[in-house]
Amino acid sequence: MVAVKKRKRGGKGNSKTVYCWYIFAGGILIFLGNYFIWESEQPPAGHAILKLDESGALQERKRPPDFAQERMERRQREDKKRKNPQPEDAPEDGRISDDEDKEHANDNNNDNTDTGEQQSKISYVSPNGDVLVKPAGTGPTKLGYVMDFVHERGNPKFRTASTLNKIETSGEKHSQMVATALSETNVQPCEYLDEDAKTTMLKARLLQRKQCREPNGALMVYNSASFPRTWCGVTIAPKSAARVEKPCTEPVRLLEKDFPPVNGDGMTPIVLHSQSDINALGQVSPLKDCSIPCHVENGMTGVARYIKGTDWVIYHSYDDPNAKREVQTELSKFKNDEYFSSAYFKSDIPLSRIDLDKHNLRNALPPVDFDAVKDSGVYIVNEQCGATNSRRSRWKDVLDNQYHVDSPGKCGHNKELEPGESLETLEGRLTIMKKYKFVLGYEISTHKDWVTELAYEAMLSGAVPIVLGATNMKSHLPRYGAIFVSDFNSFDKLAAHVNMVAKDKALWNSYHAWRKDESVLAAFERKYQFTKKSPECRMCSWAYAKMNGLGWDHQLQQVQETHIGRKLCVDSDSDFIAKPFREVWSVGKSSLGAGTNGPCQSVANSDNEHVKQDGWSIVRSVIQHDSVIDIIIHEIDMGGTSDEATLTLDYKNLVNNTEAAFFANSHTVLDTERGMLASSATIQDHKTKVTVLANWQTTVWSPKQGVIKLIVQGKTSDRMHEDEQRRIRVISEDIGEQLHDKMTEYFPSSFSKKMIQDFIDPLEMFYLDS
Ligand SMILES: *[C@@H]1O[C@H](CO)[C@@H](O)[C@H](O)[C@H]1NC(C)=O
């Protein structure tokens, strides 16, 4: 982990206020920089619970916790130190060196286009004091993976405007619908808005009538979500009502299994189809040779692929993304549940024309005999000779002029096939290639990761390949195994180099060293391992992982467990949660919780536990379901003290959120009915993201790395109502180290969205008022 410090170079701010300032910015850039930092720091640091409107009238700003205050002060001191701004075009020392990382930096910029923050730079200080300056944003650098929380937090995508009006839409309105749907009269909502809330809106809270918590008859339920939910054995379809004859103490469930397996028979089948209308779904057949149950519609056509039971669409095509708009990967589209399957390796389900069985570099032919073969190159291209890209034929022609290139294929044809020669098969082509010192593997497209059999066959041939194509070609081929046209900035320089290699046997031989280099061969095999599974099979696996919030190995394209476990394990001595986080309750200076290293016991649930000490007591229970953990507080008795009661979730060493950075109220990005009644915070590092939600207005923050704290009950005015249950939900999930999933770093994943929605807009319950 690396510390992140932010330096602002006149970027555009997020709020209107900052924007106005920017118009007058001219000479006051430094001042603006400071101002912006304050502005973007403020909401999380103050962990305000309500931000009701842009006028700020109802904003509640609480005292920032000490760590945030300290951090702000430190930043200000640093900014002062940096009073002499660096020249605009100062070389970015040690800026990302690797191809892939450059790519990342570019993509960062793409993301920033949305936010208008293109010009901001951040400097990182690694633990050993190295400093790196790079564009704002999270991602890998030569100093390690850097989490730029300041940047992510400042993203306007976090500032969804929610209004308090929404709270009143539930209950009354839906009870009428439920009454009609179930032909009942006198249907009354179980939830009611606290009377106090009507006068002081800041304390708005929904309470639940006792007869619904401990029902002795049937309850009516309404599912306002877009996904089905199951309660006490009754499945309630989206936007519909049902009657539950025997209310139970079970949690409402969203998934078929609480902990979906990552392999084996217990996996819920995935259905893949190409019609957006599920009613038009044709016949489906199970896919053979797929590690997960995957059913595919027969004869799928077109670019779109759908997953039954979701709103997701995957744009899928083998065509060059430069030429086919539909598959130009736009990573931020995942927010609308649009995904990609293209030749771009960072698309969700990448495609490749390389077939590991046919093109494995491990089976490459040995080097040809330098002294015996033709002192010339060969170019074998049969398609798209000049149509979309005459660039490759220009590079070929110039080399032909200054060295010599035979072209037996249709493109630039200058040589007839000899008897017995064939261009139709891989063997045939290799037999021709083996007769030359050089083989030109020139691709039609420069799109990232566009590497086809044209380049790979050249590698396999035993001649020295000269390759042209994808901008990141070097990450696909052995680095010193080919002459990369992109290394030469003129036709003449390339031709001169080829002529030199053609005369120098030792130099020519140096291009073959990779053939015996196990690490190169293994890296290649790993990179293309995924091609062994069909794209349909990988789509199903990807969808399965995504639906269930499981981990996903993007490179190998397979489902895996999440980095940190999600199953409950309770401390054998104290019965508090020991894993995946350590549970600690505190009032003032006294606290009680799980030990740090004791043995723990796996359990499904933890029943009502009386947390009792020094005169205070809290009654809580814990339920795990749908891979999340819910903590329910039934009673709080503060025993006369005016201290705050807090709950600490300790993920020490499991989540290293740099400088204890967190996103406050991360749930507000979702369009929920009662968003502003809840509180939440998210912490994350490059592997894991943990979101803690509370169903009332309180404070959730991270006082130090790996720790989330929540005020269970504030001072005096915050007493729990007798009809209240304070609920806390803990959602943990992997976040992609790869850019393909980068956006989940500041926007919830599909799984997380569902679990948040379920928590904030739970299944609504109604009773019959007799
Ligand atoms: C977090 O940091 C600690 C201490 O530096 C280290 O031992 C641990 O492996 C890190 N955890 C993760 C998930 O990176």
Q: For residue 34, is it within any domain?
A: no
Pick the more confident residue, 664 or 283. Answer: 283
Q: For residue 181, is it within any domain?
A: no
> Is the CB–ligand 1 distance for residue 658 below 6 Å?
no
Count Cα neighbours of 641 within 13 Å in the Cβ-side half-sphere.
19
Q: Please tell me the predicted confidence (pLDDT) of residue 236.
A: 96
Q: In the listed set 148, 164, 196, which residue is the last one of a domain according to the structure?
A: 148
Give the torsion sign (CA, 107, 109, 111, 113): negative
Q: How far is the CA of 258 from the centre of ligand 1 (A)?
A: 28
Q: Which residues pair with 694 in a beta bridge?
A: 679, 728
**Which residues, in sequence order, are CB contacts of 8 under 8 Å at separation 6+?**
32, 33, 36, 37, 120, 121
Rounded Cα distance between 682 and 706, Å, is 11
Ligand 1 pocket: which of 562, 650, 653 to mutate (most atoms <8 Å of CB)?
653
Q: Please tell me the predicted confidence (pLDDT) of residue 133.
A: 78
Pick the more confident residue, 647 or 333. Answer: 647
Q: 640 and 542 in one domain?
A: no
| Closest Cα to atom 10 of ligand 1 | 653
The atom of ligand 1 lying closest to the CA of 688 is: 13
The atom of ligand 1 lying closest to the CA of 706 is: 1
Q: 674 and 609 in one domain?
A: yes
Q: 514 and 370 in one domain?
A: yes
Q: Please tell me the predicted confidence (pLDDT) of residue 468.
A: 93
Give the torsion sign (CA, 444, 450, 453, 458): positive
- Give the tens place of pLDDT for each residue, 424-479: 999 999 999 999 999 999 998 999 999 999 999 999 999 999 999 999 999 999 98
Q: 653 and 737 in one domain?
A: yes
Task: Specify the 3-state DSSP secondary structure of 590.
Answer: strand
**Which residues, in sequence order, are CB contacts of 245 under 8 Å at separation 6+?**
218
Q: 547 and 410 in one domain?
A: no
Q: 738 and 648 in one domain?
A: yes
Q: How far is the CA of 348 from the centre of ligand 1 (A)?
A: 28
| Closest Cα to atom 4 of ligand 1 | 653
Ligand 1 pocket: which of 128, 652, 656, 704 to mutate (most atoms <8 Å of CB)?
656
Q: 579 and 484 in one domain?
A: no
| Closest Cα to atom 1 of ligand 1 | 653
Burial (CB count within 10 angstroms: exposed 0-12, middle 13-18, buried 19+), residue 553: middle
Q: For residue 205, is it within any domain?
A: no
The pTM of this model reads 0.80
Pick the more confident residue, 306 or 141. Answer: 306
| Closest Cα to atom 2 of ligand 1 | 653
- Give the tens place of pLDDT for each residue, 728-737: 999 999 886 5
Q: How confident is the model over 393-403, as a mean pLDDT?
A: 89
| Closest Cα to atom 13 of ligand 1 | 654
Q: Please tell me the predicted confidence (pLDDT) of residue 735.
A: 81
Q: 652 and 579 in one domain?
A: yes
- Residue range(s) defining the domain that contains residue 706: 569-762
Q: What is the pLDDT confidence band of residue 126, given thresholds at 50, 70 and 90? A: low
Question: Which CATH number belongs to the domain containing residue 469 in this structure?
Answer: 3.40.50.11660
The atom of ligand 1 lying closest to the CA of 656 is: 1
- Give the tens place of pLDDT for each residue, 294-327: 999 999 999 999 999 998 999 999 999 988 888 8
Q: How far is the CA of 51 from the centre of ligand 1 (A)?
A: 35
Q: How far is the CA of 599 from the centre of ligand 1 (A)?
A: 21
Number of domains in the chain: 4
Q: Which residues pair with 438 in a beta bridge?
A: 377, 464
Q: Please tell me the predicted confidence (pLDDT) of residue 20.
A: 37
- Give the tens place of pLDDT for each residue, 677-730: 889 999 988 889 999 999 988 999 998 889 999 999 987 677 888 899 999 999
> Is the CB–ligand 1 distance for residue 389 below 6 Å?
no
Q: For residue 392, is it within any domain?
A: yes
Asked whether the beta carbons of 489 and 326 are under 8 A apart, the reply is no
| Closest Cα to atom 3 of ligand 1 | 653
Q: In the listed set 129, 148, 167, which residue is the last one of a domain according to the structure?
A: 148
Q: For residue 203, is it within any domain?
A: no
Using left for φ > 0, alpha for ψ between -120 and 50, and beta otherwise, residue 638 falls in alpha
- Give the tens place of pLDDT for each residue, 598-635: 789 988 877 777 888 888 999 999 999 999 999 999 99
Question: Which CATH number belongs to the domain containing residue 742 in this structure?
Answer: 2.70.98.30
Q: Please tell me the predicted confidence (pLDDT) of residue 528.
A: 96
Q: Please tell me the predicted confidence (pLDDT) of residue 553.
A: 92
| Closest Cα to atom 6 of ligand 1 | 653
| Closest Cα to atom 9 of ligand 1 | 653
Q: 515 and 368 in one domain?
A: yes
Q: For residue 622, is it within any domain?
A: yes
> Is the CB–ligand 1 distance for residue 656 below 6 Å?
yes
Q: For residue 598, is it within any domain?
A: yes
Q: 392 and 338 in one domain?
A: no
> Is the CB–ligand 1 distance for residue 687 below 6 Å?
yes
Q: 520 and 439 in one domain?
A: yes
Q: How far is the CA of 557 from the centre of ligand 1 (A)?
A: 26
Q: 735 and 653 in one domain?
A: yes
Q: How far is the CA of 556 from the centre of ligand 1 (A)?
A: 24
Q: Please tell me the predicted confidence (pLDDT) of residue 642.
A: 84
Q: Please tell me the predicted confidence (pLDDT) of residue 354.
A: 93
Q: For residue 241, is it within any domain?
A: no
Q: How far is the CA of 529 from the centre of ligand 1 (A)?
A: 29
Q: How far is the CA of 688 from the centre of ligand 1 (A)?
A: 12
